[in-house]
Every structure is written in structure tokens, then in C-alpha cells.
Amino acid sequence: MSRKAKKGKSVVPGFGLTMGVTIAMLSLLVLIPLASVLVYAFHMSGKEFLELMMRPNVKQAFITSISCAFIAAVLNCVFGLMIAWVLVRYEFPGKRLMDGMIELPFALPTAVAGITLSKMYSEEGVLGRLLQNIGIKASYTKVGLTIALVFIGIPFVVRALQPVLEKLPDTYEEASTMLGASRAYTFRRVIFPELMPALLTGFGLALARGIGEYGSVIYISGNSAKEGTQVVSYIIMQKLNSGNVDYEGAAAIALVLLLVSFFLLLLINIIQITAARRTKQ
Amino acid sequence: MKEQENVKQGSLKKGQNKNGEGKLVPCLLIGISVLFLLIMLVFPLVEVIYRSLKEGFEVYQNAMTASNTLSALGVTLIATVIALAVNTVFGLCASWLLTKFDFRGKNVLSTLIDIPFSISPVIAGLAFIMTFGRVGWAKPLIDWVNEVFGMDISLVFSVPGVVLATIFVTFPFVSRELIPVMQAQGSLEEEAAAMMGAKGVTIFRRVTFPHIKWALLYGMILCTARALGEFGAVYAVSKARGKTFTLPLEIDALYMAGSSDSITQAFAVSSLLVIMAVIILILKQVVEYRGKREQ
């Protein structure tokens, strides 16, 4: 780019207009409403806040949301890597159809996915009965909850990996094979490090989505405080819905949930940057 | 042409595979992938259709023509169309700003735009309640506007609230698709056009737009998909069934009613959204294909 374009002195028109529209819309529709949540959360005193967070059902909800989203994201990385690899590297009938289907979880409303999965994995459902035979109860347990999160998260990982795999030059692999490395060794030491940043991006997106997910999990999880299957989003919603509305509590829990998501995304970014530096060396 | 290329690439890769890995590994990987996608993605679709038609076509038809369903369909469409329009305008402005100019705080701005992606939709709904609701700080402002102009607008627990929540969750969809494409394109062509005296609108219409039209369409399709199906955010700000409910909320209400009849009705209404989802996926695939071919 020419040096002239620096510092907003570009010859291309529209800087003021687009800046104005972008900032105005972003502030009005996203930032100001979010800031209200922050402000509202601070209506609480520190002691009340701690008391709320230490309540068994709140604590349990955070543990459930984070652990289930984490397990689901790991599963998504395993299967997502496999699916992306298959879609990029192999030719087989039905490949185009399979590729088009990956985004179904984005296109299918979460409530529809939620009620469907919940019925499928219940005792009367096809897959639920199958799992029951090997002693696993899926619907209304954490297993079901995790299955719903795998469903929601799979496109994030596949779509993050696909472009990187497509651009990955064959020459590295060829060199590795020529030098006598086994296929598994080549994958582990040559291909995998190249995919790592994209895989982490996909992992992060799936995790962030999973931690905050509402629609697809509330039906299959059963929302039982005793079984520990309430998720954080459910607790927040409960505070908005039940007879005695508790806006302050909802805002406080929402704030913690926001902080957790940002912290995790930050952590993943740091790992990613470190990994990128290592590859460059 | 494209087909031939594919075949060529395919045969090349098959040859290469024979060097490194046998036939077993690819077959195994393809098998597992197909099985995974069948169980995770295809089964649920079949299940929705099966359950919606379980009690005959008449029940299905009744569920579809119920007044609550029709009202929900209307609200869903209104929210989707407005969200799509707002986010398209925003996406075009934001991506123009972020790719054609250099300024301080550019990275911060681009991070802020992506916030709605990593936030629980429930928090989005909560945000609007805290701003415009009974307890919100902007409530007096709205009351004042209503009084002065003699209107009766409320921004939460109403259709405008549903629209706002939908806009929030779909906010970055269009800009996120446009930014990479416009970045790759650079701004040399626009600069040249500006030097030769073209006005902003002309530059956009004649120089930029042809490059980004498929990405724009793609972003709009993703935005529509999300807007049609948003649940958590809308659920927080919509309480009146038959008035401000969207289709996903109507499905929830029917499903939660618990009787086997109403559950079947819930799946019947769901099948409508499944059909929309499949149409969206097909459109998306077509746009992606056309976009790639033109490059």
C-alpha cells in the first residue's frame, strides 16, 4: 500500500462517513447495552456478589458449562480434524453433499436441534435405546448435554481447518516421506504443527459458543440442580423468568460468564501466538 | 472444466497416497467421518420430519395454520428482514472503514465488532433489558420520547425488543465475510478511481462491489440463518405468546406444554424451520460455488 494511505489520509473517500456509521451503530446496538450489564452488576456489594457466586447451584452451573464445553470442543477437534482432512485430501462419491452439510448446525435453529436431540437420545428414541443397551443414559444427563454441544461446535473446527489444509503444500510431506519417515510420524511432526493455530482457533470458537449455549442444551440437559445439569445461561434465564425477578443476580452471573469467555479466548490467543513463534523459528 | 480439474487433482492425490499410506487409512477415515456426520447431522433431520408427521397430515396442517404459529412466523420474518438490512449496512461500512484506511485503534475496533460472536445469547437479551427495560437507565429517555411525540413504544417485551436482540446476535456476520475479501483485494483500484475523480458512490458501485458481491451475499445468507433461528436472546425479551413470539419460541412453548399432541405440533412447526435451513444451505453452497468460479 502507498505511504499516502497511512494515517487516514487516503485518497479513497468515505472515511468520515463509514467511521461515523460504524461507531454509532456499534455503540448503540452492542456496546452501550453490554455496558449496562456491567454497570448493573456493580449494584451489588462485594459480599453479596461472593455469596451469590458461592451458591452451590451457581458454582455447579459454571463447572458444568465449562467442563462440558471443554470436552465437546476436544471431541470436535478430533472429529473436525478427521472430517476436514477427508474433505480436502480424498475424493469419494457424495463429497460435495458432505461438505455442504457441515454448516447445518449453523442453519438449524438451536431450539429445533435441542428438542430433536432430546427426543432422539431419550429412552424412547432410537439412539437413546442403543446407548441404554450399553448402559449409558444420554438425555437429561451431562452426556446428552455434551452431545448437544458437539453438534453445535463441529462446523467451527472443520471450517477453521479446511482453508489451511487446502493451502498446505505437499512438498513438506513428500520430503518427509522421501527421508523415510512413516506416515504417522509425518503427520505428527510435519502436518500437525502447521494445523495447530487453525485447530486452536476452531477449538476456541467452539468452546466460547459451548459455554454460552442455551437453546440446544436446555431440553436435553433436563436442568436438574440435583444432577448438576443446569448450565450458566439457564441460571441467568431463570433469574429473569421466575416469579421474583432478580436482575442484579442475573447481571452479576452474566458478568462472570463474560469474564470467563474472554479469559479463555485470551488464553487461546496467547497459546496461538507462542505456537506461531515456535514454528517460525 | 471444473470437473476435469477435480478428476486430475484426485488422481494425482491417489497416486501420492499410494506412496505414503495404503488404501486402508483413507477408507477408515472416510468411514468414520461419514458415520459421525450421519449420526450427528442427518439423523436429527430425519427425526424432525418423522415426528412431525407421526400423527398424520391433518395434525401437521392444523399446527401450521394455528394463529400462534402464523403470528410467530410474521414476527420471525419482520425481525429477520430488519436485522439483515441493518447488518448489511453496518457490514459494508465497517469493512470499508477497516480495509481502506489506516487509523489508530483499528484492531480494537475490529475486536469489538466480533464481540457478539463469543457472548452467550442470553446475555444479549439481558443487555437490552438492563438498558431499556423497567430497571434500565434509558427507560426515562424512552418515556420522555413517548410523551413528547405521543407514542407508545417499548423496546423490551415487544416486537422492537425482539428485533434489537436479533440484530445483536447477528451483528458481525456480514462484516466478517467482507473484511477478508476486501483485504485481499487491497485498495489500489479504489485509489486509482479516486485519483481519476470518481465519487465515493461510483467507486463502490463500479470498482468494489463486483469484487465483493458473492462474499456479501454469503454473509447475508449466514445472517438470515442465524436470525431465523435465534432463541436465547429473543427468549429473554419476549414474553407474549401469539404477539411477540418468534417461531423458535413458539416451538418451545408447544414442546414445554408436554402433551404428546403439542409435542408433535412442536415438531411440525420445527419442520418449517428445517426446510428453511436446508434451503439456506443449498443457497449458501450455490453462492460459494459461483464465487469460487468467478475468482
Q: With contact defined as beta carbons under 8 Å apart, do A150 and A77 qualify?
A: no
- In angstroms, what separates the C-alpha of B226 from chain A's closest C-alpha? 7
Interface test with A, best of B86, B118, B202 (most A CBs within 10 A): B118
Which of the two residues, A72 and A205, has the higher pLDDT score?
A72
Pick from A36, A119, A126: CB nearest B131: A36
Amino acid (1-letter code) at residue B83 = A
Predicted structure pTM score: 0.88
Q: With contact defined as beta carbons under 8 Å apart, do A236 and A41 qualify?
A: no
Mean model confidence pLDDT for chain A: 88
Q: What is the mean pLDDT of residues A201-222?
A: 92
Q: With contact defined as beta carbons under 8 Å apart, do B101 and B194 qualify?
A: no
- Beta carbon pairs, A and B, within 8 Å: 302
Cβ separation of A14 and B137 shorter than 8 Å? no
Establish if A37 touches chain B: CB-CB under 8 angstroms: yes
Q: What is the mean pLDDT of residues B67-95?
A: 96
Report how far residue B94's alpha carbon sits from residue B212's, in angstroms, rounded to the nearest whole number: 14
Q: With contact defined as beta carbons under 8 Å apart, do B230 and B249 qualify?
A: no
Confidence of residue A280 (pLDDT cuts 50, 70, 90): low
- For chain B, the first-to-last Cα distance in angstroms comes to 14
Residue numbers in A near B24 (CB within 8 A): none
Amino acid (1-letter code) at residue A269 = N
Asked if the structure places residue B163 within a domain, the reply is: yes
Q: Is the pLDDT of residue B295 over 80?
A: no
Ranking A8-12, B69-73, B258-262 by mean pLDDT, the lowest is A8-12
Which residues constitute the domain of residue B261? 58-294
CA angle A131, A137, A138 (to 5 degrees): 85
CA A90 to chain centre: 27
Chain A window 241-260: which residues touch B at a Cβ cutoff of 8 Å?
247, 250-251, 254, 257-258
Cβ separation of B200 and A14 shorter than 8 Å? yes
Ranking A62-66, A158-162, A263-267 by mean pLDDT, the lowest is A263-267
Cβ separation of A104 and B277 shorter than 8 Å? yes
- Of B97, B195, B109, B180, the C-alpha closest to A14 is B97
Asked if the structure places residue B257 within a domain, the reply is: yes
Establish if B111 touches chain A: CB-CB under 8 angstroms: no
- Of B234, B220, B235, B224, the C-alpha closest to B273 is B224
Q: Where are the beta strands (DSSP E) in A57-199?
A: none
Ranking A8-12, A65-69, B43-47, B91-95 by mean pLDDT, the lowest is A8-12
Whichever domain contains B290, its CATH number is: 1.10.3720.10
Asked if the structure places residue B36 within a domain, the reply is: no
Residue numbers in B near A250 (CB within 8 A): 126
Q: Is the pLDDT of residue B87 over 70?
A: yes
Asked if the structure places residue B7 within a domain, the reply is: no
- pLDDT on residue B270: 95
- For chain A, the first-to-last Cα distance in angstroms comes to 28
Establish if A177 touches chain B: CB-CB under 8 angstroms: yes
Cα-Cα-Cα-Cα torsion B15, B19, B22, B27, nearest 10 degrees, comes to: -40
Cβ separation of A215 and B121 shorter than 8 Å? yes
Establish if B267 touches chain A: CB-CB under 8 angstroms: yes
Cβ separation of B51 and A208 shorter than 8 Å? no
Cβ separation of A212 and B94 shorter than 8 Å? no
Asked if the structure places residue B46 within a domain, the reply is: no
- pLDDT on residue A142: 92
CA B234 to chain centre: 14
Asked if the structure places residue B43 within a domain, the reply is: no
Establish if B168 touches chain A: CB-CB under 8 angstroms: yes
Asked if the structure places residue B190 within a domain, the reply is: yes
Copy the grid coordinates of residue A92: 469419494
- pLDDT on residue B12: 41
Q: Is the pLDDT of residue B138 over 90?
A: no
Confidence of residue B9 (pLDDT cuts 50, 70, 90): very low
Domain count, chain B: 1
- pLDDT on residue B21: 61
Class in CATH terms, A45-280: mainly alpha
- pLDDT on residue B269: 94
Q: What is the mean pLDDT of residues B238-267?
A: 91
